[in-house]
Structure 1
Amino acid sequence: MLKLLRQSPLSARIGMGIVLLNCLVAVFAPLIVPYGETSVVGDVWESSSVKFYLGTDHLGRDLFTRMVYGGRNTIALAFITTALSFLAGSFLGLLLLLKAPGLTS
């Protein structure tokens, strides 16, 4: 595996690093973010500061916290849709292969 990684282009290694970083942030989100996902912790539309890295939204929720937890949802949704499309494509491909004339004995 390491040999394959060393032989891959730089752009592929950078992409894999970004995906790995996003997955690590998603897994360790409760340890990274300072507030709960739906906690109202500040005033409406506060600007970025030491307390709120990206500011707050229209309800006073921390935007950094919301983005990290949103990344978890995005990664899970991408994984589920990839798995479903792989399963559907495999099933349809096998079905068409079995029905193709001249390919069965």
Structure 2
Amino acid sequence: MASLALSACLSTKVSSLAPNMVRVNLQGADAPSDEQALKEALVLASKETLAHEYDLFRFIDWSAGPAQLATPGQPAVANFAVTVVMFRYGEQGSNPVFDARAVLKTQEPQQ
């Protein structure tokens, strides 16, 4: 399982829910922007999908974690979770999905 920290300050816990489903919990200081958090979640989900020998995935049940007490002068805190459902080609039905290999290819550093 490719459980890894998305950024230097976010910790990631991946829990297996089924052979084709994982729950990704993200917590940490210095919360990324919404755009950066989505990009990082896409990359992590892509790596999990390929590690489980699937090709496609979609997100379900994206939710905020328990409220964090914000203290003046402290950095913002990220605390959210998402379930990743994985498919092989042809299994996804009419649901919109992400192609794990395509996501990783678009996130590679540009030369």
Structure holding more helix per residue: 1
User: Above 0.5 in TM-score?
Assistant: no
User: Normalising to structure 1: TM-score of the pair?
Assistant: 0.31
Point out the structure with the larger strand share: 2
Structure with the larger RCO, 1 or 2 (CA within 8 Å, 6+ apart): 2
